[in-house]
């Protein structure tokens, strides 16, 4: 049976409803001997705040964070905004739900993957093509890549977001080379179009380890401690070592360039103490790395603007102050 989605229940005031939701957070508030819980519930259609007042409170509820739960309650309006007054809640059984109901997703992931594969097919250098195939012919990696979000909040924060972002960076970067050459510019002899293709495809693969699997849209401990630039570097480095063990030559200069693209794709050298740190530890030092870092920034920024506009529910021409972009965003 199809899941009853959040959007469908928002106007069913004072009617007892049962719904499966993914629980983002539980906040406990104890006052005058009374315990109240605020729970943040979400599914692919939206978010809803739930309130559990003293009479219905059970200590078990506090252990439900990041679980898919079945909630029973009533929709009420609080200051004009619907919330759910929870009367009971339990962990949903695995046969009662489909995990995909709880995360918004890109709807053309398979097409995006076909695009990525079509670019792998035009790579000329056999060792680079083999490296890309090592990742994308691996079912476990492919499954994780297709499901992975591109970010947790600011841009591409949806299932398949990484595939969408990767395909966009890839098409943009390769098209740029074409446009640049068509306009009559010359690129130096050592410039390597295969490296741009491989760099675009691999630049963010560390995100499959940086983020928990959807619907939990959070960083893993290794993601927090190492970041996807380092994690992606380590994955590609390990794959090249595996190739060497199989006596597949991977020239050192190509390895250096590819790992450099991954490590520098967030652009500028960063002050790691800032809360808005991008995690870059080096500046791009080759043309291929500049192309990837700029196309990466362009796509993440445009998507972040779109996200901010879509999420802003105010009436004005501008969004509320956007701390990531450090400005108000014009919505018209």
Q: What are the residues binding Fe ion (CB under 5 A)?
A: 204, 296
**How many Å apart are CA 295 and CA 299, to the nearest integer?**
6
Cβ atoms 21, 69 nearer than 8 A: yes
Task: Give the shortest CB-228-to-Fe ion separation in angstroms.
Answer: 6
Q: Which is nearer to Fe ion, 83 or 300 (CB)?
A: 300
Q: How far is the CB of 262 from Fe ion (least distance, A)?
A: 9
Minimum distance, C-beta of residue 36 to Fe ion, in the bound complex (Å): 40
C-alpha–C-alpha distance, residues 138 and 279, integer Å: 28
163-178 per-residue burial string, b: 16 or more CB within 10 A, e: under 16:
bbbbbbbbbbbbeebe
Those residues whose C-beta lies under 8 Å from the C-beta of residue 76, and which sit 6 or more positions away, are 13, 14, 82, 83, 84, 85
In angstroms, give the least distance from the CB of 195 to Fe ion: 16
Pairing label, strands 46-52, 68-78: unpaired
The C-alpha atoms of residue 76 and residue 205 are separated, in whole angstroms, by 43
93-128 CB burial, b ≥16 within 10 A, e <16: eeeebeeebbbbbbeebeebbebbeebbeebebebb
Closer of 82 and 279 to Fe ion (Cβ): 279
Task: Closer to Fe ion by CB, 255 or 296: give it.
Answer: 296
Minimum CB separation of residue 97 from Fe ion in Å reads: 31
Closer to Fe ion by CB, 204 or 254: give it: 204
CB of 289 to Fe ion, least distance (A): 13
Is the bond into 215 cis (omega within 30 degrees of 0)?
A: yes
Nearer to Fe ion, 204 or 255 (CB): 204
Residue closer to Fe ion (CB basis): 17 or 171: 171
């Amino acid at each position: 049976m199809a899941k009853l989605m959040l959007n469908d229940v928002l106007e069913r005031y004072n009617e007892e409803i049962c719904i499966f939701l993914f629980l983002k957070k539980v906040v406990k508030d104890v006052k005058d001997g009374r315990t109240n819980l605020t729970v943040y519930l979400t599914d692919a259609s939206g978010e809803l705040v739930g309130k559990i007042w003293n009479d219905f409170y059970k200590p078990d509820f506090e252990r439900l964070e990041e679980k898919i739960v079945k909630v029973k309650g009533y929709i009420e309006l609080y200051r004009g905004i619907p919330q759910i007054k929870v009367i009971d809640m339990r962990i949903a059984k695995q046969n009662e739900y489909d995990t995909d109901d709880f995360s918004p997703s890109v709807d053309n992931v398979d097409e995006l993957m076909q695009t990525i594969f079509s670019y792998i097919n035009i790579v000329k250098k056999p060792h680079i093509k083999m490296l890309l195939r090592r990742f994308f012919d691996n079912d476990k990696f492919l499954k994780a890549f297709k499901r992975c979000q591109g970010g947790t909040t600011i841009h591409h924060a949806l299932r398949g977001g990484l595939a969408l972002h990767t395909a966009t960076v890839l098409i943009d970067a390769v098209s740029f080379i074409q446009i640049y050459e068509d306009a009559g510019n010359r690129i130096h002899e050592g410039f390597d179009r295969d490296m741009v293709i491989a760099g675009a495809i691999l630049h963010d693969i560390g995100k499959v380890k940086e983020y928990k699997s959807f619907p939990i849209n959070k960083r893993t401990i290794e993601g927090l401690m190492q970041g996807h630039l380092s994690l992606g570097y380590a994955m590609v480095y390990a794959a090249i070592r595996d190739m060497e063990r199989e006596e597949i030559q991977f020239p050192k200069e190509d390895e250096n360039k590819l790992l450099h693209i991954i490590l520098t794709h967030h652009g500028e050298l960063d002050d790691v103490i800032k809360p808005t740190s991008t995690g870059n530890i080096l500046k791009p030092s080759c043309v291929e790395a500049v192309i990837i870092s700029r196309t990466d920034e362009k796509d993440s920024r445009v998507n972040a603007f779109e996200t901010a506009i879509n999420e802003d529910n105010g009436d004005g021409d501008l969004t509320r102050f956007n701390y990531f972009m450090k400005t108000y965003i014009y919505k018209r």
